[in-house]
Chains A and B, each alone.
Chain A
C-alpha cells in the first residue's frame, strides 16, 4: 500500500517541537527508518509528523567530567559504532551497533529512534487487529509464534527489537527525557515497559516528551563486556536470541555481573538469578551451566518457540565461557 496523508513539520528547537507534539495526534520523526515503515504499513496513522532532525543539540556525543558519556538522541547507529571512545570503553555497545540492521539503516537510524522503535511482531505489523493495536486478541498465542517471547509476555508476546537496549541496560545507562516542563533522568529499565504495564505502548514516554540523550556511567576498573546476537541471516535481521554481558572481575572472580537478553521478552530481559550465581565465583563449566539454566527457569514457551530455551542456554554458556 502507499503512504497515507500527513503533514510534515521540521521545527528548529525543542520548544517548538513540544508545541506541535502537545497539540496531539503527532509523531516524532528522527531517521524515519521505523516510523515511515509503520505509517506505510498502516500500523498506526498520524496527522502530523514532527521531525527533530534540525535540532543540533541532539546530535552530540560528549564525554562528561565524571567520565560518563552523554549520547545525543540523534546520534546515528553508525556514528555510535565508529566512535573511538565508545569502541574503547563500551565495546559491547559498539559491537551491538554494528549488529543492527544493515549499513544503510545504520547510517540513517538514530539511537533515540532505536530505543523507541515499534516491535517487529508480524501480527502487529500486519493486517491483524491485535491487542497492541487496541484489539481484543493476541494472534501470537495460537498462531505463528516461532519468533515470539518466552519470558515476560502477558496479553501480548512481542520481543523487544533493539540490539542497543540490552547492552545499555547491562551498562546501567540512564535516559534523558525532555518535555515542556523540563528535563528528567530515568534508568533505562524504567523507559521500556512490559505489556502488563501498558499493552499498547513500549516506552514510558508521554506523547509530548522527547528522548534527548542516553547517559552511560563511567566504566569501572576490571570491567569487561560483550554482546552476541544469533539470527536467521547474516545481516539485516533482528535477534532470534542475544545476550549482553557486563562483568567485573577482581583476581579472577566475578565481582559484579549483568546479564541481559534480547529476543527473549517484550523488554530487554535481565537475568538476576544467573547474575547471582556467578557473582563471587570464578567461572567454570558447572557454574556457567547453572547460570544458563537459571536464566530460563521462568520461561514459558508457546507452540513454536520452545527452541529458544535451549538456544538461550547454549548462547549464555558459550558467551560466559569466553570469560573463563
Chain B
C-alpha cells in the first residue's frame, strides 16, 4: 500500500462531523471549502467554448424553424396563404392554426386562453405560423412569402390610456386583468395625522427587456414516441411538465436537456410557444428542428419587466419614525395576464417598520408583449419610488439618509400574516458596514463643501432593499456518487443559469467529503439523468439545493464510514475523514484510505441521496441589501458618470466568494442599465409598434458605463435557523436598490428628483430645464 493519500482529495482537509443516520447535521462552525475564492469549476469549458449550450446543438438532418409574427399590436388574421411558401426551395413544413395538431390552446394565469397560433393578435410579435426549412435563410425566405391579410384594429399600448373611458378593449371583459388589488395594515389616515412631514410624489419606471446573451429557443428531436428537447432554460423539469401536458405525453417520454444555458433573468422559467412549435415541426418532418428566436424577436415575444406608474405618499415624525405609507401603482403585463404589478409593493410593505400601510395595484392590459418574471419582479420598480421617498423624507426632517433607514429596521415581516420574525436580518449591518466601507460621512461632507461652479458635480446616494423570496425550500433531490477510486460525481436537476451553481455545489460536496472541488464531476439539468428540481429563479437555487447537496454528501459519508467501521472494528460515530483517509478519533493507528474500503470496492459505488427539508414554520427568511454610489453629473449636458459603487449584502452564509462578488457586480451592472438607459419604446401615438427593438436602440450598459470601482461587502451571517447551509438568496437583492441609489446620488449632486427612468441625458436635460424654469419663476415672484 502506498503512503500517499488518494488523488482527488485535499491533503489537510478534515471534514465536518458526520451525523448519525436520521439526525440533522450541525451547522458548520468553520468551513474549509465553503465560502472560499474558488474559480469556477467549469471555467475551462465556459471560456474555451467547449461547453455545449442548446444553441450550439447541431444534429444530422436537422432543419431550421422560424416563426411568422404579427407586425401589428392589434389585428385579426383574415386570411393566411401559404401556397407560395410551400413551393419554395428547402421548405419542409409549414404549420398554422389550421393544422389539427397545432390547434392547441395556450393558457395564461387566471384561466385566460389564446391559441398557439392566434388569429386575434393582441401584441406585435404574436405567433401566426411557422416553417421548417433546410437552412435558416430558406426558412426566412419562406416566411416572407406567406401572405397574410390583416384587419388592423386600433391598439392601446399606454397603460394609463387603457384605463380611460372609451379606450379600445383588449379583451371582452375590459382592460383590467383583475380588480385592483389592495393591501392594508393600520390606518394610513391616522398615520398621516401623526406625521410631522408628509410628502407625496409620482414615479415611473420604463419597461425593461431581459436580453440574455443566449437567445430563447431549443432543438427538438423525436425518436418514435419519445421527445428530446435541448432547451435554453432555467428549469428543465418545469419545461418537461409543460410540454407533457400540452402535447398529452407521459413525463417519461419527454426529455429536456439544458445543462448549459446563456442567461435568462426570469424569461426562461417557462416553455415558450417555440418549444411546442419546434416539437410539432420535428414530428411533422421526421427530422430534428432547431428553433431559436432572432435577437429582434426576443424584444417582442420573450417577456419583459412591466413598466410602472406609481404614487407614494409618506409620513414621518421629526425623529425619523415612519408613520404611514400610501402607495398606488398602475402597471401592465401586456396583452395577457402576466403579473404586471407582481411584487411592486413588497418594499413598501416589508422593508421598513411602519404601522400604517396601504397599497393598491392595478394591472392593466395593453397591446404589448406579455411580461415574464424579471430579476426580482416588481422590486426595483417599488424601490425606485420608496427609496427616493426615504431620501426626500430624510432631507425634509434634516436627518442623514442612512440614519433614517436605521431608525426604521423591522424585526418581523410585517406584510406576512402573523408577523413572523425573520430567521435573520442583516439590514442594520448592511447599512452600517456599507456606510463605513464606502466612507459615507466623509463623502457627504466633501460634497457639501465642494465647488458649485464646476459643470461636473459630484453626489452620493444610498438605498436599501429586501427580496420577498430567497429562502428556497423543498422539493429537491440530489444524488452524490462515490466511485471506488475515490472520485465523486454530483448529480442535480438544477440549472446553472450563469450564476455559478455548479461551483457552489462542488464546494458543498468538497466540504463534506474532502474531495477537491475542481475534480468533482457534475451532471445537471437533464430530466432523463438527473433528479427533480424546481427552476433556478427567485434567488433560491443556492438555499434550495445546497442543503440537499449537503445531505447527499453526508449520506455518502454515512455509508462509507459504516463500511470502514466494520473493517476497522470501530464505531462509525468515532470515525472521521482527512485527505481521503478515514481515521479513528480514538485510536490514531486505526485508519484506512477511501480507496481501500473493501465494501466500496465490492459494491462498486456508494450512492448518497439528499433531500431538501422544509423551512422552519412561522418564520420569514429573506435577504437584505444596502448599496451606495458616487456619481458625477454634468449640469450643462445632463451626462452622468458613475464613479463608484458599493453593495453590502446579507444573504446568509457566503457560500463562494468569487461567485458572490460576481452576482454583486452583475446586479449593479443590470441596475445601472435599468436606471440609466434601458427602455422598451413603443410608437405610442401612432402604430404602437416597438421602435427600440434591437440591441442598438435598446441600450444595455457597456464596460464603459460600469465603474471599475465596485466593492462587495458581504455581511457573512450564516442563517442556521433557515437551513443546514445557512445560505439565503443573492442574485436578485443585488439589483433591487441599484436604480434608486443612482437617483439619490444624482439628487445629491444636482437637487433634482427624478420621476422616471431611464436617467439618460435626455431625461436629465429635461429635468435641468424644468428646474431652471422653476427657479426663474420663483425669482420673479421675489
Are A and B genuine complex partners? yes
Interface residues of A (CB under 8 A from B): 1-5, 102, 120, 122-123, 126-128, 139, 142-144, 146, 230-237, 240-241, 306-308, 310-311, 314-315, 317-318
Taken together as a complex, chains A and B put the C-alpha atoms of A315 and B637 apart, in Å, by 6
Chain A residue numbers with a CB within 8 Å of B693 are: 126
Chain B residue numbers with a CB within 8 Å of A144 are: 681-685, 691
| B151 contacts the other chain (CB 8 A) | no
In the assembled complex, how far is the CB of residue B426 from the closest CB belonging to chain A, in whole angstroms?
A: 34
Contact yes or no, B684 A307, CB < 8 A: no
Taken together as a complex, chains A and B put the C-alpha atoms of A143 and B639 apart, in Å, by 25
| B754 contacts the other chain (CB 8 A) | no
Taken together as a complex, chains A and B put the C-alpha atoms of A142 and B455 apart, in Å, by 34
Chain B residue numbers with a CB within 8 Å of A230 are: 637-639, 761
Consensus secondary structure, chain A interface: loop
Taken together as a complex, chains A and B put the C-alpha atoms of A240 and B699 apart, in Å, by 13
Contact yes or no, B144 A4, CB < 8 A: yes
| B140 contacts the other chain (CB 8 A) | yes
| B762 contacts the other chain (CB 8 A) | yes
* Besides A144-B684, A236-B702, 11 new A-B residue pairs in contact (Cβ under 8 A), listed by A number: A1-B296, A102-B702, A127-B71, A146-B762, A235-B702, A241-B637, A306-B769, A307-B769, A314-B635, A317-B636, A318-B634
**From B705, which residue of chain A is reached at the shortest CB distance?**
A234
| B686 contacts the other chain (CB 8 A) | yes
| B161 contacts the other chain (CB 8 A) | no
| B408 contacts the other chain (CB 8 A) | no
Consensus secondary structure, chain B interface: loop
Contact yes or no, A232 B144, CB < 8 A: no
Contact yes or no, A4 B761, CB < 8 A: no
| B321 contacts the other chain (CB 8 A) | no
Chain A residue numbers with a CB within 8 Å of B635 are: 314
Contact yes or no, B766 A307, CB < 8 A: yes
Please report the number of residue pairs spanning A and B whose Cβ atoms sit closer than 8 angstroms: 114
Convert B689-723 into 0s and 1s, putting 1 for each residue whose CB lies closer than 8 angstroms to a CB of A. 10111001101011111000000000000000000
Taken together as a complex, chains A and B put the C-alpha atoms of A232 and B677 apart, in Å, by 7
Chain B residue numbers with a CB within 8 Å of A307 are: 638, 761-762, 765-766, 769
CB-contact partner of B636 in A3, A4, A237, A315, under 8 A? A315
Chain B residue numbers with a CB within 8 Å of A235 are: 702-705
Taken together as a complex, chains A and B put the C-alpha atoms of A307 and B767 apart, in Å, by 9
Chain B residue numbers with a CB within 8 Å of A123 are: 683, 691
| B462 contacts the other chain (CB 8 A) | no
**From A304, which residue of chain B is reached at the shortest CB distance?**
B762
Taken together as a complex, chains A and B put the C-alpha atoms of A143 and B687 apart, in Å, by 9
| B294 contacts the other chain (CB 8 A) | yes
Chain A residue numbers with a CB within 8 Å of B692 are: 122
Contact yes or no, A126 B691, CB < 8 A: yes
Contact yes or no, B704 A240, CB < 8 A: no
Chain B residue numbers with a CB within 8 Å of A233 are: 676-677, 699, 701-702, 704-705
In the assembled complex, how far is the CB of residue A114 from the closest CB belonging to chain B, in whole angstroms?
A: 16
Convert B649-677 into 0s and 1s, putting 1 for each residue whose CB lies closer than 8 angstroms to a CB of A. 00000000000000000000000000011
| Given known A230-B761, A235-B704, A307-B766, contact A1–B699 (CB-CB < 8 A) | no
Contact yes or no, B139 A2, CB < 8 A: yes
Taken together as a complex, chains A and B put the C-alpha atoms of A317 and B141 apart, in Å, by 52
Q: Pick from A2, A120, A237, A317 the residue with the most CB of B within 10 Å.
A: A2
In the assembled complex, how far is the CB of residue A105 from the closest CB belonging to chain B, in whole angstroms?
A: 11
Taken together as a complex, chains A and B put the C-alpha atoms of A234 and B760 apart, in Å, by 11
Contact yes or no, B699 A310, CB < 8 A: no
